[in-house]
Amino acid sequence: MKTIQFREAIAEAMSEEMRRDESIYLMGEEVAEYNGAYKASKGMLDEFGPRRVIDTPISELGFAGVGVGSAMNGNRPIIEFMTFNFALVGIDQIINNAAKIRQMSGGQFDCPIVFRGPTASAGQLAATHSQAFESWYANCPGLKVVVPSNPRDAKGLLKSAIRDNDPVIFMESEQMYGDKGEVPEDEYTIPLGVAEIKREGKDVTIVSFGKIIKEAYKAADELEKEGIQCEIIDLRTVKPMDTETILTSVKKTNRLVILEEAWPFGNVATEITYQVQQKAFDYLDAPIAKINTADTPAPYSPVLLEEWLPNHEDVIRAVKKVMYK
């Protein structure tokens, strides 16, 4: 094992796959000359040259469309958005072309493309740069949605996403790029659609994904001091969702708390709640609790932003509520 930063895990995954397959290229704003807005493509221009590491104008709709068209013609593009907030400008290409072309062409065209970049909040970036769209993309048939929370998962999942023959939405975080973690020295991949139990426990199941899962770990450490053992599941892939891992855990703990950095109406936690009550209702000893942001645009004020975001204290309160403590 070696210890590397999240941004290095992303760069390694892309570089290893580009060495393996010449049809893969990276395209986006500042990915080449600047080594990536968050240095997640550092050194790649020097190794692969400007034909495979391509800087673009500020034109998300344009370069998303170029990527979709090239994917239909045998390439495997990686399209980087500086944040997924900016992907809204190119969302027509993602939803109406990438996600649908296999069906609309009667299977004549695959669309092996990865759209990647940061999601959700990253400090005081205000309302239009702090949005989490995982549930939006997961709602669209034809797309796979991946949200890793650590360097090891990021590298293994990104390699699998690049090799996948369908479009994959791969969501990172500005606030995770500097995170360090152990990553295997040898070649490895992590399959899409498989959650992982990051911490075993018997009293309550906590499901989360992405950077906000850190708040679940903090809460579990505090709750353990009070004799409450939390089982933490990292969803890793939002769609396809690994509901079996969640159901198996809930059948053991009989309680469920879901932590997600997203607006509360119609999000990923809502779908998990439905799946569990539909398939494991008789195992529940308490109503399911879900923890989200406030139902407002993200505020700029640091005081209001702290109140808007979920935190470990919210998780502790939710856990005690489902345990009737």
Annotated catalytic residues are 60, 129
Q: Is 33 helix (H, G, I), strand (E, B) or coil?
A: coil
Tell which residue, 215, 246, 231, has the closest CA to residue 317: 215
- Helix axis angle for 6-20 and 151-163, nearest 10°, is 30
* CA 88 to chain CA centroid, nearest Å: 17
Q: Is 72 helix (H, G, I), strand (E, B) or coil?
A: helix
CA distance 23 to 27: 13
> In 10 A of CB 320, how many CB atoms?
15
Tell which residue, 239, 261, 321, has the closest CA to residue 288: 321
Q: Residue 5: phi, psi to the nearest 5? A: -80, 160
CA distance 203 to 177: 33
In contact, 287 and 319? CB cutoff 8 Å: no
**For 102, left (φ over 0), alpha (ψ -120 to 50), or beta?**
alpha
Tell which residue, 266, 210, 215, 271, has the closest CA to residue 242: 271
CA distance 77 to 79: 6
